[in-house]
Structure 1
Amino acid sequence: MATWFLLIIYLAFVSLGLPDSLLGSAWPVMWQDLGTSMGAAGVVSMTIAAGTIVSSLASGAIVRRLGTGKVTLISCALTAGALLGFSISPSMLWLIIFAIPLGLGGGSVDAALNHYVAENYKAHHMNWLHCFWGVGATMGPIVMSGYLRDNGFWRGGYVAVSIVQFSLVVILFVTLPLWKRVAAKRKDERLKMNETSNLPERESIDSPPTKINILQIKGVKPTLIAFLFYCGVEMTIGLWGASYLVGPRGISAESAARWISLYYAGITLGRLITGFIALEVSNRVLIRYGQIITIVGAIILLLPLPGTFSLIGIILIGLGLAPIYPGLLHETPARFGRDNSAKLMGYQMAVAYTGTTLLPPLFGLLASQISLSLFPIVVFVFLALMLISVEKVNRTLNKLVKGNSL
């Protein structure tokens, strides 16, 4: 039952990825139809991000009160309604209004599902979960492009994705009792395994008291910094990578766009492959090797090599990033205790979205004032800071584990 139930969770993550890429693919037609400016997309995007951050921070308390199943159901209903609202919006003001529930729903379901999978399933499922987000993010523009070919009918694209979301709401409603049943079954299995093995469930530190301030737990702050720079560098490359390849590197716009799409494909495919590797290799090892690969890719970007090597560097960074985010998420209960994982998962999501929202525009401002040639330097710095933060967490937890064993 637990394995088949995963299909519902995967579907929920596909639906989470679907809306993320709709606005960008439809905006060239939307802004003219709504009589607004091309730059107004930033206002909508920031409104969605703000709602996501708020709901992520509150998700721990909400999940404890309502449970993951109800939170996922309500969140998907919010996003479905918001997308339908986008399709009938007569003006920019209404887009901003509907962007609020879209962000609130997206942040809640993201944190809730990540927490549920980290608690009840093994590491390879977390990698595949985020692979399915990539499937949804890839399908969004494909659906929208089909409607844009029909006289630029972007509203139809939003209606189609909204119907998909409402269909998922029905499925989630019917299967609502399964969430607690599967969680209880997995808990019983863990207890039986611990009794027969006489070993702790995972190599982890003792769970700190639930009343403690989450930020006071050792290792939490550098973990949050790692999430900030992970999402910052992932989005910075996605947003500015093509501009760097076309500008300073002199590659054609068509080729640059193709290679940036391969960068995202590398992340998605990398998570699919990592899911199988995680059956035999620990999260910590996968995260470390992923970071090494990203650093190698960044060094290739930094070196004064022909333009093709810049493309190779970006692809390597995408492959290296693949196991880091799901691996860090899955380690949350083991590293910081199950009693704290729901709340901390929300914090991690909030900081991750903050990195996505703030760091790419900051680089854009820096590039406009100085030069796009700073792109590989900034990417390397972001990756280095992420590496330092993750390794600091590892050292801190190693000391705690040794201290507890004495």
Structure 2
Amino acid sequence: MATLFLMIIYLTFISLGLPDALLGVGWPEMYSELHVPQSFAGVVSITISLGTIASSFFSGKFIRRFGTGKLTAISVLSTAVALLGFYFAPSFLWVMLAAIPLGLGAGAVDAGLNDYVARHYQAHHMNWLHSFWGVGALTSPLIMGQVLAHGSSWRVGYLIVAIIQFLLVAILFLTLPMWRSREMRPLKVTPKTTEPDMKLVQLLQLKKVRLALYAFFLYIGVEATMGLWTSSYLISVKGIASDKAAIGVSIFFGFIMFGRLLSGFMSMMLSNRQLIQVGQLLILLGSVFVWLSASYAFLLFGISLIGFGCAPIYPAMLHETPQRFGQKIAQEIMGVQMAFSYTGSVVLPPLFGFLVPIVGMRSLPLFLLFYALMMWLASERLVKKIDQEKIRKKD
């Protein structure tokens, strides 16, 4: 039963990744049918992200009120209904309305499951959890691609993913007793804490919390900026053909997924702190390779290093949350961390795009280097701050 329960968690994270790439693949067909400019994809994407940020911020309160299992089931139901809304949408306005519950549901699932796994399972499960998200993120483009290749409407792609989500909703509601029984069990990690109850404003006043939020914001800045601008960089700066540039983007996300699978095994030998440091070093090295390389092979090698470096950082930082801040406030902080992560994906990639006319597309690796260095600085200052607190408590 324990293995079955863990597989349900993994399946839920696959479902979390499934909707993420549907919009990007389906939009070339969608915008003409909906009679809106091509640029309106950004409006839909930001709407989804804002919903995700909002639900992440308040996920701690929702978890305490409903429990992780019920919140997860309701949230996946929200995403399933939203995807069905995309299928039936008669106009762009309806797409925008459907984007709201899609973002709200995704944020609650993401924060809730990350908090649950961080508190109840070891580090390798957190890495594998995020590897399963990659399975979903890689599967949905294949679904939509096959639908469009066979001459069907983009709506069919959304319908197929909606059906998958509804099936998972049924599984989650049927297994709610399993969730309740496990949430009542003693935690497997992190000793008891004497941390007092704290409000969100009080949490944000803590220096170590702010340092953690900076690190999350900057990490997602690296990942999202790479995902959005790598193809443009390879084509316009390095003179790579568009089909080969697309391979570069796929390699980036593929190495994140593969790296998280491998990081699950590495976490049995290395601490979360060491995994984070190794990942940051690989991002720095990969950015230098992308900046200096002229050949396609070396460019792909640099992109692979960045993807492989990104792999362990996010799961390791999430898994460290209870250890860093204590069980009593971990749920609140987990949601806030998720919200700042999504904020980074909304702010930093468009910021680079806004600055391209001034600094040029060739500066992309320099931006990645800057983000990675600032992330490393915030992470190391956070570790130093926590170590100092431990020394003071011993004294």
- TM-score grouping bracket, smaller chain normalisation: over 0.9
Match of 1:210 among 197, 202, 213: 197
State the one-letter code of the partner of 1:392: R
Q: Percent identity?
A: 47
Report Cα offsets for 1:68-96 as digits up to 9, x if no partner: 01110110010000000100101100000
Partner residue of 2:35?
35
Partner residue of 1:221?
210
Partner residue of 1:119?
119
Give the Cα separation in 1 of the matches to 2:10 and 2:50: 25
Partner residue of 2:92?
92
Report Cα offsets for 1:362-398 as digits up to 9, x if no partner: 1011113331011111111011111111111110011
Partner residue of 1:15?
15
**Contact 1:284–1:327 (CA<8 Å) still a contact in 2?**
yes
Partner residue of 2:232?
243
Give secondary structure in 2 for the equivalent of 1:209.
coil
Comparing 281-290 with 266-275, greater Cα deviation is found at: 281-290
Report Cα offsets for 1:167-212 as digits up to 9, x if no partner: 000000000011121233353xx4xxxxxxxxxx54x895521135
Partner residue of 1:48?
48
Q: Alignment RMSD, CA only?
A: 1.5
Partner residue of 2:300?
311
Give the Cα separation in 2 of the matches to 1:318 and 1:143: 23
1:207/1:243 CA distance change after superposition, 3 Å: farther
Alignment of 1:130-279 (within 5 A): 130-187=130-187, 190=188, 202=190, 206-211=193-198, 213-279=202-268
- How many corresponding residue pairs? 393
1:370/1:216 CA distance change after superposition, 3 Å: closer
Report Cα offsets for 1:14-64 as digits up to 9, x if no partner: 000000110000001011111111111111111111111111111111111
Counterpart check, 1:369 vs 2:363: no
**Contact 1:250–1:307 (CA<8 Å) still a contact in 2?**
no
Partner residue of 1:105?
105
Give the Cα separation in 2 of the matches to 1:217 and 1:208: 13
TM value normalised by structure 2: 0.96
Counterpart check, 1:389 vs 2:378: yes
1:146/1:303 CA distance change after superposition, 3 Å: closer
**Contact 1:293–1:316 (CA<8 Å) still a contact in 2?**
yes
**Contact 1:75–1:105 (CA<8 Å) still a contact in 2?**
yes
TM value normalised by structure 1: 0.94
Partner residue of 1:401?
390
**Contact 2:293–2:299 (CA<8 Å) still a contact in 1?**
no
State the one-letter code of the partner of 1:133: W
Give secondary structure in 1 for the equivalent of 2:238.
coil
Give secondary structure in 1 for the equivalent of 2:58.
helix
**Contact 2:251–2:303 (CA<8 Å) still a contact in 1?**
no
**Contact 1:205–1:334 (CA<8 Å) still a contact in 2?**
no
**Contact 1:115–1:345 (CA<8 Å) still a contact in 2?**
yes
What residue ranges of structure 2 are gaps of 5+ in the alignment? none
Shift of 1:280: 2.3
Give the Cα separation in 1 of the matches to 2:232 and 2:294: 18
What residue ranges of structure 1 are gaps of 5+ in the alignment? 191-200
Shift of 1:305: 5.0
Give the Cα separation in 1 of the matches to 2:365 and 2:255: 19
Partner residue of 1:197?
none
**Contact 2:238–2:294 (CA<8 Å) still a contact in 1?**
no
Give the Cα separation in 1 of the matches to 2:357 and 2:165: 39
Give the Cα separation in 2 of the matches to 1:307 and 1:147: 31
Shift of 1:151: 2.0
Give secondary structure in 2 for the equivalent of 1:18.
helix
